[in-house]
Homo-oligomer: A and B are copies of this chain.
Amino acid sequence: MDFQGSLEEQIVLEDIGKEIFALAARIFPICRSITGDGVRQTLREIAAHIALDVHEVPTGTEVFDWTIPREWNIRDAYVKDASGNKVIDFARCNLHVMSYSVPVRKRVSLAELKQHIHTLPDQPDLIPYRTSYYAENWAFCMAHRQFESLRDETYEVVIDSSLEDGNLTYGEYLHRGESEDEFLLSAHVCHPSLANDNCSGVALLTHLAKRMARLPTRYSYRFVFAPGTIGAITWLARNEGRTCRIKHGIVVSMVGDGGGPTYKKSRRGDAAIDRAMAHVLGHSGPAPAILDFWPYGYDERQYCSPGFNLPVGLFQRSRYGTIPQYHTSADNLDFIRPEYLAESYRTIIKTIDVIENDGVYCNTNPKCEVQLGKRGLYSSVGGDAEAATKNMAMLWVLNLADGASSLLDIAERSSLPFGVIYHTAQLLHEHGLLARQQ
């Protein structure tokens, strides 16, 4: 597989940015939670692009230390003031209801209502995103400015939700490569109308999977679309014996904004995926954040739990929790852009390129330099900077191709991009100057 960037590729990427955005926009309005029809509807949108396997796991199923909860669905919710005006309306924004709110239908005083309302006093125009999966409760979320203007009167409160035995739903798609060794790509599908977190990640992985379906690859690629935490735990519980096949992986979320890029390393810290992402980001632009693992965040928490310790990192643009839009109504479709989605996509395919194409080669003439000139490989008279880079890349590859250093090792030591090293190795291999070892 070789995605490396030609001009044609540039155009394809511009298009793919728009395609990813379109899918993100399509799934944005759906009210998702960790269970329920919102997840199913989202998976159906994904399945319109790839041959997704959808799994239903019944309420009460034990998954390691956890139990699949009851299924939550919601039809409508609002708060009406004494005049019958809806001061909060779920139909306008699904963040207005705390996820997993139990059904309620009653008249309450302002005082009582206020005990069931979350706001963000420091960001008075934004609606916060809140959940209460494992403690039964109900609540509304609203802008603080509006909250402060509520009059002291009686309100009608309605949450037309249900919390009943049902299923947890997740989807997965396996692209089979030459090897049964797998590259895991995982996105959470449990957040409602938050565009960056994680309509962006879901849409990006869907289009990546769609595109990879056409490509022969060395590794198999497993795409997991599951609710955060409980979904990843469920997947791991049901695939425990297969996890040793996962040789590389990334969790993908918040990949549509203009910040970052950010890569949080796996718990191992020196896995191939950690080195590959650090390398790709280091050559992609100014000051990427390459962070050591910490045990909070997205589903890398589960994949990197000590009993699994899988080589799975987290790729984001802005780092979660560090931007004002995080977990608020400001994380909407204006916050993400096709060009950022395309750039995130490019970063991931470049990383896949490194993982796919890394290998160990042996210089077939290891004693002294080979005479590149007589093979027409050497740009002899001075010349341009590109020729100089090509010459240096050949010298680096030939010098370090000692059967112990991989192409990524060579790229790191030479400070040249992996793509340059890889294409150079291909060229030298064609000329019989390198033998592939592994």
Q: Which residues of A contact B (CB under 8 A)?
A: 63-66, 132, 134-135, 229, 232-233, 236-237, 240, 267, 294-296, 301-302, 304-309, 363, 365-371, 373-374, 380-381, 392, 395-396, 398-402, 414
Contacts and interface: CB of A to CB of B under 8 A. Distances in A.
B369 A302 contact: yes
A64 B395 contact: no
A405 B209 CA distance: 38
Contacts of A371: 65-66, 134
A379 to B, nearest CB: 12
Contact of A134 (B63, B368, B374): B374
B305 A369 contact: yes
Contacts of A381: 132
A301 to B, nearest CB: 6
14 contacts: A65-B368, A65-B369, A65-B370, A135-B380, A236-B367, A295-B392, A295-B399, A295-B400, A301-B399, A302-B369, A305-B369, A306-B400, A306-B402, A308-B368
Contacts of A306: 363, 366, 398-402
B399 A304 contact: yes
Contacts of A63: 368
Nearest to A363: B306
A63 B365 CA distance: 12
A134 to B, nearest CB: 5
A66 B368 CA distance: 9
A365 B64 contact: yes
Nearest to A240: B367
Contact of A307 (B135, B309, B367): B367
Nearest to A414: B294
B64 A367 contact: yes
Interface of A is mostly: loop
The listed residue with most B CB atoms (<10 A of its CB), out of A305, A381, A392, is A305
Contacts of A135: 373, 380
A302 B368 contact: yes
Contacts of A368: 63-66, 232-233, 236-237, 302, 305, 307-308
A398 B369 CA distance: 46
B399 A365 contact: no
By Cβ-Cβ distance, the 6 closest A-B pairs, closest first, are A307-B366, A307-B367, A295-B399, A295-B395, A306-B402, A233-B368
Contacts of A363: 306-307
Nearest to A378: B134
A369 B301 contact: yes
Given A65-B369, A305-B367, A306-B398, 5 more contacts: A233-B368, A236-B368, A240-B367, A308-B368, A309-B402
A181 to B, nearest CB: 21
Given A134-B374, A135-B380, A396-B295, A308 B64 contact: no
Nearest to A392: B296
A363 B363 CA distance: 47
A199 B398 CA distance: 30
A133 to B, nearest CB: 8
Nearest to A269: B413
Nearest to A236: B368
A53 B228 CA distance: 64
A147 B298 CA distance: 68
A361 to B, nearest CB: 11
A62 to B, nearest CB: 11
A432 to B, nearest CB: 11
The listed residue with most B CB atoms (<10 A of its CB), out of A305, A366, A367, A414, is A367
Nearest to A413: B292
Nearest to A133: B373
Contacts of A307: 363, 365-368
